[in-house]
A = this chain, B = another copy of it.
Amino acid sequence: MVTSTTQPANDENRQWYVAEVPTTPGIRLERACFGQRVAPRPEPGPGEVLIRNHYFACDPMNHAWVKGLEARFTAIPPGGVMRGGVAGRVVESRHPDFAIGDAVTGFLDWADYTLSDGSDYTGTPLQRVPADLPLATGLATLGMTGHCAYLGMFDIGRPKPGDTVVVSGAGGAIGTVALQLARLSGCRTIGIAGGDRKCRFLRDSLGADATIDYRRESVPERLQALCPQGVDVFFDNVGGPVLDAVLARLARGARVVICGGIAGYNSDVPGLQNHLMLAIQGASMAGFFYFDHVHRLAEANDRLAGWLRSGALQEVLDVAEGFDAVPDAALGQFAGHNLGKQLVRITDAS
């Protein structure tokens, strides 16, 4: 049932499109990039489905669609409809594998509706959201967010019980999952986040053993106090001086997971000075490109869904309401406004 004033009129399809190509360097979007317009509601052709979009996923990947990413993504041409993570339900189907009401996710149009031939803009088949879980979970724990935490923590971080695991951006989308995966692995967990609200949440609700508020506290001093034996696993979402401070405290054989570097997306941060600690401590630092690991996602989904169902893993969502909320939500993550996964809900349905 659709009742919200945020709904489009019949036969209309509101779209966010690339109004201006961003000119600033780095992984960055600007308000001027976002243009809104209304187009006719599309009609599915043979083999196609029409998806009513319910949620958009805000994450740093949004920039890659708009600006392109060398050798990985072609930029959306100016005037093109913006793309990103979308969760929705099939409302018309001329595709044998999809029925009306099916809950799906994919990298699709940031619009009221998307047409699909069964796959998304990356060529990946539309993903199904399990019927017993909320639609939004398909963009959070069972979406790119949860997958990045899973692949980064288990394939690169390889935590062992008793390890000291530090997570930066721990109050963010991936950080809230990564920290919990370390806790589930029997590790001592330390979350680095900005502000007392996030730090308290990490300790009180997600079971972090300790937190560092990088806005109020000296990260190097707190790391020294909290990690006298060094850091065994660092799951890094921010880069910059926080990464440099943790490199200086690595334990022997430590593993550093480079998942993101949001500190470097929006400003000129100082470069890393302490990479030689990798040699001194026999440590490694590695990243992964999400789209190279799609063959692992069934395994990740099975385990993540299991932990969600048992209550071992808590999903943390930060949901902005309404179609017009997109630019604020998409830009706010670079300022660390969100606690958990930033979504925009554009309908009243769930």
Using a CB-CB cutoff of 8 Å, which residues 254-308 of chain A contact chain B? 258-261, 264, 270-273, 275-289, 292
B289 touches A252 (CB 8 A): yes
Residues of B within 8 A of A287 (CB): 276-284
Residues of A near any B CB (own CB < 8 A):
27, 69, 72, 239, 243-244, 252, 258-261, 264, 270-273, 275-289, 292
Residues of B within 8 A of A27 (CB): 276
A155 to chain B, nearest CB (A): 10
Closest to A241 in B: B271
A289 touches B285 (CB 8 A): no
A278 touches B292 (CB 8 A): no
* Interchain residue pairs with CB less than 8 A apart (9): A72-B280, A239-B275, A270-B271, A271-B271, A275-B275, A276-B287, A281-B289, A284-B285, A286-B286
Name 18 extra pairs, CB < 8 A, besides A69-B280, A72-B280: A244-B271, A258-B276, A260-B276, A260-B279, A261-B276, A270-B271, A271-B273, A276-B287, A277-B287, A278-B285, A280-B287, A281-B289, A282-B287, A282-B288, A283-B286, A283-B287, A284-B285, A286-B286
Contact check: which of B243, B252, B275, B289 meets A280 at CB < 8 Å?
Answer: B289
Per CB-CB distance, the 6 closest pairs between chain A and chain B, nearest first, are A271-B271, A279-B287, A284-B286, A278-B287, A272-B272, A282-B289
Residues of B within 8 A of A273 (CB): 264, 271
A275 touches B270 (CB 8 A): no
A239 touches B288 (CB 8 A): no
Query: Which of A264, A272, A279, A289 has the most chain B CB atoms closer than 10 A to its own CB?
Result: A279
Contact check: which of B258, B270, B272, B276 meets A279 at CB < 8 Å?
Answer: B258
Residues of B within 8 A of A285 (CB): 275, 278, 284-286
A146 to chain B, nearest CB (A): 17
Closest to A265 in B: B276
A234 to chain B, nearest CB (A): 13
Bound complex: CA A288 to CA B277 (Å):
9
A11 to chain B, nearest CB (A): 41
A282 touches B275 (CB 8 A): no
